[in-house]
Amino acid sequence: MTPAASNAPPPPYPCLAQESCVIRHQLAEQLAQLERSAAMDSLTGVWNRKHFDQVLETEIDRSLRHRQPVSLILLDIDAFKLINDQFGHSAGDAVLREMAQVTSGLIRSSDALFRWGGEEFVVLATATGHRNASRQAENLRTAIAAHRFPAAGQLTISLGVAEHLGEESAAEWFQRADAMLYAAKRGGRNRVRVDTRGNSDQWASTQASSALHLNWQEGYESGEPTIDREHHELFDRANELLDTFLSGEEKFARIAPVFDRLMQHVAAHFADEELILERHGYAKLEAHRRLHARLLQRAQELRGAFQAGQVHLGGVVEFVAGEVVARHLFRADREFFALFARQEDAA
Q: Rounded to whole angstroms, what are the CA distances from 218 to 95, 135, 198, 314?
A: 35, 12, 11, 28
The type of residue at 4 is: A
In 3-state terms the chain splits into helix, strand, coil percentages (rounded to 5) of 65, 10, 25
H or E element: which one contains 308?
A: none
Q: For 329, what's the count of Cα atoms within 13 Å in the CB-facing half-sphere?
A: 30
The type of residue at 66 is: H
**Start-to-end CA span in the chain (Å):** 67
CB 159 within 8 A of CB 178: no
The type of residue at 289 is: R
User: How many Å apart are CA 143 and CA 65, to the nearest integer?
Assistant: 34
CB 109 within 8 A of CB 131: no
* Helix, strand, or coil (residue 16): coil
CB 148 within 8 A of CB 162: no
User: How many Å apart are CA 142 and CA 232, to the nearest integer?
Assistant: 27
Torsion angle of the four alpha carbons 43, 74, 124, 330, in this order, in degrees rounded to the nearest 10: 170
Residues noted as catalytic: 119
**Residue whose C-alpha is closest to residue 177's, from 157, 192, 156, 199:** 192
* Helix, strand, or coil (residue 244): helix
> Which residues are bridge partners to 75 per DSSP?
121, 159
